[in-house]
A and B are shown apart, each in its own frame.
Chain A
Amino acid sequence: MHVTSDKNIDNQKLVSLLKAKDQKGFELLYERYAPTLYGVILKIVTKEENANDILQEVFLKIWRNIDSYSVQKANLYTWMLTIARNSAIDHTRKKEFNRNVDIQKIKLGSLGTETQRTDKIGVKEKVQKLDPELREIIDIIYFGGYTHSEASEALSIPLGSVKTRVRTALRELKKLIV
């Protein structure tokens, strides 16, 4: 966990600040998580102006739904990333985004440009060891919003192979990171 300020505020405390709709809590949340949420949104919608609007929408959704969030239920980071990802994908669906064309953009993830942070370089190097085929399946589902059957069609592999590949990809990623 990287922290840009108030290092001693852990996620549990952060969640109680958020639930109290405390402005400082949201500021801290923004500092900690906005770059990743923004990076994921940008990867999905590609246009910066759209990404700005969606990031704003995501923070509003976090603000509105924080009451129903519980640390026992889900990882905070995962919870927010799900909101960011779904909002961005909804946006692309609304615009009848031609996903068959855009697969090229998503394929073999061009990794983000902001990698100055030393603690992230390690992770990036580790991820680069992941088999390109496995990274591709993660990217088209996570960033491309493909369903398993859409992925099966786009990659011309059977549905069963998509499922196996997803499991293998996450298992390998876990081995590299955790």
Chain B
Amino acid sequence: MNVKEYIQSGILENYVLGSVSDQERREVECIASIYPEIREELESLSVSMNAYAEIHRVNPPTGLKQKILAELEDLSDADELQNVVEMRAASAGVWKYAVAASIAIVLVLSFVLFNTMNQVDSLSEQLSGALSQNQELSSASEEDQALIKQLQEANKAYYAVIKDPNNKIVHMHEAEGKPDALTLVYWNPTSKEVYVQVDHMHIPSDELQYQLWAIVDGEAIDAGVFEVGEDSTALQKMKPTEKADAFVVTLEKRGGVPVAEGEIYALGNT
């Protein structure tokens, strides 16, 4: 990431003038939290624009203050009631994911089983044939069994992560100009475990690799590198992370770097 170029791009000026999209705004805030130089520039532009806004100040009519504060008080009361309802609903919410996952698992397993059965059927027809064919059958079913077992293990692990109520699901959204970067981050603040699940991301050249960063108090902390490819929809375990205000994905040289250098591809607040 070229800090000077970013500052000169005009995006920070557009941010303080309010002429950015929601996505650009989140991106500016995230990038500013990583690079102190950008944060400093953004802060002084913000202070300038706030001062400019302030010279237009007008006292609101008397009475408006009481009206607004009274409305907030009503909302506060309504909220307390809502919290009780939400707490009851929250435990039910987790099951939505669990049910979705079980359906997915059943679908995958039925597909595997269907294929196996077909294979078994077609091989059974040849059972009366040569012994070599018989051997072929036993080795094929062993292979399938191994595959089923492997899938079961993977699904069990996947299921364990997504049904864990301590896991926060962070929906990463793609950075501006990076349309092909959809990722989920599962983060468990208690066990510090972090998993990345790539939905779809642009596959980089061999010498590059995506790296995950946990943003804590404006500092980017390395959370490890992950793979993107045909087989990468499985959960990938990342480095343990205790605290994170946000997660960011950058593209770095293979193996990762200690301090982020590459461009940001995806970001999401915890």
Which DSSP category, helix, strand, loop or mixed, fits chain B's interface? helix
Q: A35-B57, A166-B10 are in contact. Are A85 and B18 (CB under 8 A)?
A: yes
The residues in B between 37 and 57 inclusive whose CB is less than 8 angstroms from any CB of A are 42-57
Q: Which of B58-66, B90-98, B147-155 contacts A (4 or more CB under 8 A)?
A: B58-66
Chain A interface size range: 35 or more
Interface status of A129 (Cβ within 8 A of chain B)? no
Q: When the two chains form their complex, are residues B55 and A123 in contact, meaning their CB atoms are under 8 A apart?
A: yes
Q: Which of A27, A42, A173 contacts B52 (CB 8 A)?
A: A173
B interface residues, how many (CB within 8 angstroms):
47
Give chain B nearest CB distance to A40 CB in angstroms.
5
Q: When the two chains form their complex, are residues A167 and B10 in contact, meaning their CB atoms are under 8 A apart?
A: yes
Q: Which of B33, B47, B57 contacts A73 (CB 8 A)?
A: B33
Q: When the two chains form their complex, are residues A48 and B69 in contact, meaning their CB atoms are under 8 A apart?
A: no
* B29, B55, B68, B73 pick with most chain A CB within 10 angstroms: B55
Which DSSP category, helix, strand, loop or mixed, fits chain A's interface? helix
Using CB atoms and an 8 Å cutoff, list the residues of chain B in contact with chain A. Answer: 10, 13-14, 16-19, 25, 29-30, 32-33, 42-61, 64-65, 67-69, 71-73, 75-76, 79, 217-218, 245, 269
Using CB atoms and an 8 Å cutoff, list the residues of chain A in contact with chain B. Answer: 21, 23, 26-27, 30, 34-36, 38-40, 42-43, 48, 51-52, 55-56, 59-60, 63, 68, 70, 72-75, 77-78, 81-82, 85-86, 109, 111-115, 120, 123-124, 127, 138, 141-142, 147-148, 163, 166-167, 169-171, 173-174, 176-178
A-B residue pairs in contact (CB < 8 Å), sample of 18: A27-B69, A30-B65, A34-B60, A48-B61, A56-B68, A60-B75, A73-B33, A114-B59, A120-B57, A123-B55, A138-B17, A142-B49, A142-B53, A148-B19, A173-B49, A174-B45, A177-B48, A178-B48
